[in-house]
Amino acid sequence: MRFTKSVLAVAAALFLVASLPAQTPAPAQAPAQPKAAASEYDRTLLKPFSLKEKAPDTFQVKFETTKGDFVMNVTRAWAPNGADRFYNLVRHHFYDNMVIFRVVPNFVVQFGISSYPPVNAAWRGDTITDDPVLQSNKRGYVTFATSGPNTRTTQLFISFTDKNSFLDKQGFTPFATVNKDGMKVVEKFYDQYGDAPSNDQGEIQAQGKAFLDKKYPKLDVIKHATIVGPAAAEPAAAPAATNP
């Protein structure tokens, strides 16, 4: 019986396959595990005792918010303890992703409770010694909130009006200012909740931004607060008029 070349080729191929050792299918690779997410906050903030660097004599902090940007000019000589505390908080991004929880027209803007409960727990009792009140709480002036002697921690006030001088006698010590253009941004912050969120500060401390997002969803947010350089020089006073 004669075989064609094509039949012989097929037979040879079948013989080769039959002589090969059996192959075990390779197991399917496990899906790659997602990398651990980066911390949502600077973990150095959990150690307030380590954040004691002295602030420069003057410096500027840029706040990027949901209503626009504004800048604070800080003068350390006005309130050294307050300026140092603020400087260290900003350097470690304490005010990033923070809700501006209290906006009361003709009074103040207030913020300074972290969006992250572990950070709030770390700073709740870390107070700073009072500074003498050397500047008055006028429009655009910035001070730490206080509930009595030597109780300042992280919360800030920005005054809307020159009529807040009564805060001077209560120990509210200005350490910075927001200029005229910056106050145009501050005035845009959502103010229809008024003082209401202030009554929930315990819940804000314990639950962070999630609580405010749920109960007060229209509040504005500080996206980032960053040190951007030395404070701008104050404009020179106009020369006194002289008699001809």
Average pLDDT over residues 155-163: 98
> From the centroid of its chain, how far is CA 194?
21
Which pLDDT score, from 0 to 100, does residue 230 have? 81
Q: pLDDT per residue over 124-143, tens digit each?
A: 999 999 999 999 999 999 99
Which pLDDT score, from 0 to 100, does residue 27 have? 40
In which residue are the tokens 């192959």 written?
23
Give the residue, 22 or 197, on which the prediction is more confident.
197
Give the residue, 51 or 22, on which the prediction is more confident.
51
Structure tokens at 216: 């007060």
Q: pLDDT per residue over 78-128, tens digit each?
A: 999 999 999 999 999 999 999 999 999 999 999 999 999 999 999 999 999
Short-list 152, 57, 222, 178, CA closest to 212: 222
Which pLDDT score, from 0 to 100, does residue 229 have? 85
Query: In this structure, are residues 99 and 115 in contact, taking their beta carbons and an 8 Å threshold?
Result: yes
SS3 per-residue string spanning the chain: CCCCHHHHHHHHHHHHHHHCCCCCCCCCCCCCCCCCCCCCCCHHHHCHHHCCCCCCCEEEEEEEECCEEEEEEEEHHHCHHHHHHHHHHHHCCCCCCEECCEEECCCEEEECCCCCHHHHHHHCCCCECCCCCCCCCCCCEEEECCCCCCCECCCEEEECCHHHHHHHHHCCCEEEEECHHHHHHHCCCCCCCCCHHHHHHHHHHHHCHHHHHHHCCCCCEEEEEEEEECCCCCCCCCCCCCCC
CATH number of 52-229: 2.40.100.10
Question: What amino acid occupies position 48?
Answer: P
pLDDT value at 239 more than 50: no
pLDDT value at 19 more than 50: no
The bridge status of strand 98-99 relative to strand 174-178 is: unpaired
Distance between CA atoms of 167 and 133, rounded to whole angstroms?
A: 10
Average pLDDT, the chain: 86
Which pLDDT score, from 0 to 100, does residue 232 have? 59
The residues spanned by each domain of the chain are: 52-229
